[in-house]
Structure 1
Amino acid sequence: MAIDATVHYIARDEAYKAEKAFDTGFPVSHIPGARQTNHRVEPHGVKVHQIRDPSRYALDVHGFCVIRADLDINPHDAVTQLSEIQFSIWDKLERILERDFPQYTRIESYDLNVRKRDSDFPSITRGYTDFNQPSRKPHCDVSQQGALMDLRFAFPGQDHIWAGKDFDILSVWLPLVGPNSDWPLVLCDWTTVDPDNDIIDNDAIHRDHIEENSLLHYNSAHKWYYIKNQTSSDLMVFRNADSCGRRPRGFHCSIFNPDVSGPPRQSIEVRLVAFR
Structure 2
Amino acid sequence: MPSKENGASHVSTSMYFLASNELFKSEKPYAFRFTLAEHGLPSSIPQTNMKMERRDDIIIDDIRGNEKMYTLEKNGFEVITHTSQIAYEDYYEPEKVKSYLQELEEVLKDRLKASHVQVFRYGLRKRHSEFPVSTGEAYEYDQPTSVAHVDTTPEELSKEITRQYGEEANSWLTKRCQWINIWKPLKGPLTDWPLAVCNAAVVDKVNDLEAADLLYPDLATENYQVYYNPNHEWHYLSGQEVSELMVFKQADHMMQSSLPGVPHCSFPNPFTPKGEAPRESIEARALVFYDD
TM-score (norm 2): 0.88
Counterpart contact for 2:90–2:97, Cα < 8 Å = no
* Structure 2 counterparts to residues 152-167 of structure 1, below 5 A: 152-167=162-177
Q: Does 1:25 align with 2:6?
A: no
Counterpart contact for 1:112–1:271, Cα < 8 Å = yes
Partners of 2:129 and 2:80 lie apart in 1 by: 30
Deviations along 1:157-191, one digit per CA (max 9) or x if unpaired, are 33124222211010100001111111100000112
Counterpart contact for 2:199–2:234, Cα < 8 Å = yes
Q: Does 1:202 align with 2:202?
A: no
Aligned residue pair count: 273
* Structure 2 counterparts to residues 157-236 of structure 1, below 5 A: 157-236=167-246
Deviations along 1:96-132, one digit per CA (max 9) or x if unpaired, are 1122222x21111100111111122122253521111
Distance of aligned partners of 1:270 and 1:161 in 2 relative to their CA distance in 1, 3 Å threshold: farther
Q: Identify the residue that residue 38 of structure 1 maps to in structure 2.
A: 49
* Structure 2 counterparts to residues 117-156 of structure 1, below 5 A: 117-156=127-166
Please report how far the alpha carbon of residue 29 of structure 1 lies from its aligned counterpart in structure 2 after TM superposition: 5.1
Distance of aligned partners of 1:75 and 1:29 in 2 relative to their CA distance in 1, 3 Å threshold: farther
Deviations along 1:122-146, one digit per CA (max 9) or x if unpaired, are 2225352111111111111111111
Counterpart contact for 1:202–1:213, Cα < 8 Å = yes
Letter in 2 for 1:178: G
Counterpart contact for 1:71–1:93, Cα < 8 Å = no
Gaps of 5+ in 1: none
Please report how far the alpha carbon of residue 91 of structure 1 lies from its aligned counterpart in structure 2 after TM superposition: 1.1
Which structure 1 residue ranges, 4+ long, deviate > 4 Å from structure 2? none
Partners of 2:165 and 2:76 lie apart in 1 by: 25
Q: In structure 2, which of residues 255, 259, 262 is the aligned counterpart of residue 250 of structure 1?
A: 262
Letter in 1 for 2:31: D
Counterpart contact for 1:64–1:238, Cα < 8 Å = yes
Q: Percent identity among equivalent residues?
A: 30
Counterpart contact for 1:28–1:35, Cα < 8 Å = no
Q: Does 1:63 align with 2:76?
A: yes
Letter in 1 for 2:89: H
SS across alignment from 1:155:
helix
Q: Identify the residue that residue 89 of structure 1 maps to in structure 2.
A: 100
Q: Identify the residue that residue 8 of structure 1 maps to in structure 2.
A: 16
Distance of aligned partners of 1:124 and 1:149 in 2 relative to their CA distance in 1, 3 Å threshold: farther
Deviations along 1:205-254, one digit per CA (max 9) or x if unpaired, are 12221111111101110110000010111101101001123322211000
Partners of 1:26 and 1:73 lie apart in 2 by: 34
Letter in 2 for 1:148: S
Distance of aligned partners of 1:28 and 1:74 in 2 relative to their CA distance in 1, 3 Å threshold: farther
SS across alignment from 1:150:
helix
SS across alignment from 1:132:
coil
Q: In structure 2, which of residues 104, 107, 111 is the aligned counterpart of residue 100 of structure 1?
A: 111
Counterpart contact for 1:66–1:234, Cα < 8 Å = yes
Q: Does 1:76 align with 2:81?
A: no
Partners of 1:59 and 1:204 lie apart in 2 by: 27
SS across alignment from 1:156:
helix
Q: Identify the residue that residue 241 of structure 1 maps to in structure 2.
A: 251
Letter in 2 for 1:38: N
Question: What do you get for the CA RMSD once the two structures are aligned?
Answer: 1.6
Counterpart contact for 1:171–1:270, Cα < 8 Å = yes
Partners of 1:28 and 1:217 lie apart in 2 by: 27
Counterpart contact for 1:73–1:89, Cα < 8 Å = yes
Q: Does 1:48 align with 2:56?
A: no
Counterpart contact for 1:73–1:176, Cα < 8 Å = no
Q: In structure 2, which of residues 273, 277, 281 is the aligned counterpart of residue 267 of structure 1?
A: 281
Partners of 2:242 and 2:91 lie apart in 1 by: 13
Please identify the structure whose Cα radius of gyration is greater.
2
